[in-house]
């Protein structure tokens, strides 16, 4: 419940009388049906400690592995950190589950499959009737009510957070993306939050934007980082590989020489030498003959029958000793750019985000189509129904 605090509200002043009364549309959507059920709150601990995006993968695997046997038809929602809410009692006060994440259909026997422990412990039971009482001024704000509102927040964010790239409380989709200078695109995102108002709960839906790396062949990304005209320019000697390494370090890529496996790899850096000159010891297949020195270029030719088009370029390091030629790597979609944008990129971002009210309203409507509240099985399980029409409110037009 970090960030949620009890607040003493001051009385609302009388409505204004100046200007002309008008109606305006807002980016709020009425909760048409707020159930008065008991919501069950659970504390979640994932070991080892990993970021929220990995926590969600662990939770999704938990649903796949144990959903039928442990959840008894419940559809719990999870915030990716410590909080899980369910419209039904899960039937236990505390349990620990072993979760195996196997991202590779044909795992490398030398690389252990990651195993996590997911601990779920009952924390509290919240009666949503208390929110009804609060909205109708029959009860004061309490910790239970704050937790209930947080449960609604987690509920409306759960499905998009499992389907789309998530940054903070916003989720982002590549629909309508626009290129920035360099190897980046700006993606549009949507932010949702449950807000109590006089007599009813409302859902606030707003738009946001952030920069993502462009997906596709890694060489295309490098061409843009170096500000080259095309791939052929890479055949000439280049001197700014340190800039490239700094830019792509940490990116997740797939390799194209293994048709049966699309397991992602993380880039740790670049080799000092080229694929033609970088050599390593290669053991014989039967393990009897002595290991021989071979180059990366020769290895990919003899093992995969791949003739490198750019053997004079360095390789990416995807492990302590493993490296792959640049031309065989593809950048995975949906990776946020965490660094500060330069002046040109900032200018492009401002142009993308500054929209007139009518177009902004249309973008929010597009977000509603993506969210698809009417077909959200988690909302149905909790009995929550949200209007798809923008709420209209009274306003006054005052001439300056």
Write the CA distances from 155 to 1, 194, 204, integer angstroms. Answer: 15, 10, 14
Domains (range + CATH), the chain = 241-331 (2.170.260.10)
Write the CA distances from 133 to 37, 47, 139, 140, integer angstroms. Answer: 13, 39, 5, 8
State the pLDDT confidence band at 267, using cuts at 50, 70 and 90: very high
Query: Which of 234, 255, 198, 225 has the alpha carbon at shortest distance from 314?
Result: 234
Phi (first) and psi of residue 144, to 5 degrees: -60, -40
Query: Which of 80, 81, 59, 79 has the alpha carbon at shortest distance from 70?
Result: 59
Q: Is the pLDDT of residue 271 over 90?
A: yes
Q: Is the pLDDT of residue 3 over 80?
A: no
| Range 142-154 average pLDDT | 96
Q: Is the pLDDT of residue 261 over 90?
A: no
DSSP 107: -
Contacts of 223 (CB under 8 A, 6+ apart): 230, 231, 233, 234
Pair 72, 40: CB distance under 8 Å: no
Q: Give pLDDT, residue 388.
A: 95
Query: Which of 222, 244, 255, 219 has the alpha carbon at shortest distance from 329?
Result: 255
- Token pair for residue 27? 């980016």
- Token pair for residue 395? 């306003």
End-to-end CA distance of the chain: 43
pTM of the model: 0.88
| Range 243-254 average pLDDT | 96
- Token pair for residue 12? 């609302």
Q: Is the pLDDT of residue 108 over 90?
A: no
Pair 267, 244: CB distance under 8 Å: no
Q: What is the side-by-side strand order in the sheet with 184-197?
A: 165-167, 170-179, 184-197, 200-213, 28-33, 385-386
pLDDT 10s digits, 57-102: 999 999 999 998 999 889 999 999 999 999 999 999 999 999 998 6
State the pLDDT confidence band at 109, using cuts at 50, 70 and 90: very low
CA distance 264 to 213: 15
Pair 196, 204: CB distance under 8 Å: no
CB atoms within 10 A of CB 341: 18
State the pLDDT confidence band at 399, using cuts at 50, 70 and 90: confident
DSSP 89: -
CA distance 259 to 16: 68
Pairing relationship of beta strands 83-86 and 385-386 according to DSSP bridges: unpaired
**167 conformational bin, left if phi > 0, alpha if psi -120 to 50, beta if neither:** beta
The whole-chain average pLDDT of the chain stands at: 91
Pair 44, 85: CB distance under 8 Å: no
Query: Which of 210, 168, 163 has the alpha carbon at shortest distance from 189?
Result: 210
């Amino acid at each position: 419940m970090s960030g949620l605090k009890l607040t003493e509200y001051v009385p609302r002043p009388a409505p204004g009388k100046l200007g002309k009364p008008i109606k305006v549309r807002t980016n709020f959507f009425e909760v048409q049906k707020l159930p008065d059920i008991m919501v069950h709150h659970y504390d979640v601990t994932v070991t080892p400690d990993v970021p929220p995006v990995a926590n969600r993968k662990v939770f999704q695997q938990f649903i796949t592995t144990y959903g039928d046997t442990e959840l008894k038809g419940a559809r719990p929602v999870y915030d990716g950190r410590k909080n899980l809410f369910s419209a039904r009692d899960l039937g236990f006060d505390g349990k620990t589950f072993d979760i195996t994440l196997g991202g590779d259909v044909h795992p490398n026997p030398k690389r252990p499959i990651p195993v996590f422990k997911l601990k779920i412990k009952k924390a509290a039971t919240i009666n949503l009737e208390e929110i009804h009482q609060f909205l109708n001024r029959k009860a004061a704000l309490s910790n239970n009510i704050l937790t209930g509102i947080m449960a609604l927040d987690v509920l409306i964010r759960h499905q998009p957070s499992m389907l789309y790239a998530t940054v903070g409380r916003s989720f982002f989709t590549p629909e309508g993306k626009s290129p920035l200078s360099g190897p980046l695109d700006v993606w549009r995102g949507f932010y949702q939050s449950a807000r109590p108002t006089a007599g009813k709960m409302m859902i606030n839906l707003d738009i946001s934007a952030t920069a993502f790396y462009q997906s596709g062949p890694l060489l295309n990304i490098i061409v843009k980082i170096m500000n080259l005209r095309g791939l052929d320019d890479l055949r000439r000697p280049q001197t700014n590989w340190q800039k490239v390494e700094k830019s792509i370090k940490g990116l997740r890529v797939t390799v194209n020489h293994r048709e049966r496996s699309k397991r992602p790899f993380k880039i740790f850096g670049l080799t000092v030498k080229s694929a033609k000159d970088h050599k390593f010891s290669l053991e014989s297949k039967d393990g009897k003959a002595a290991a021989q020195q071979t180059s990366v270029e020769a290895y990919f030719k003899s093992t995969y029958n791949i003739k490198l088009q750019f053997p004079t370029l360095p390789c990416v390091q995807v492990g302590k000793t493993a490296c792959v030629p640049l031309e065989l790597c593809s950048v995975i979609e949906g990776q946020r750019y965490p660094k500060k944008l330069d002046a040109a990129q900032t200018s492009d971002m401002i142009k993308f985000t500054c929209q007139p009210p009518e177009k902004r309203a249309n973008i929010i409507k597009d977000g509603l189509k993506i969210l698809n509240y009417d077909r959200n099985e988690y909302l149905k399980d909790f009995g929550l129904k949200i209007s798809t029409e923008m709420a209209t409110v009274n306003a006054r037009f005052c001439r300056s």
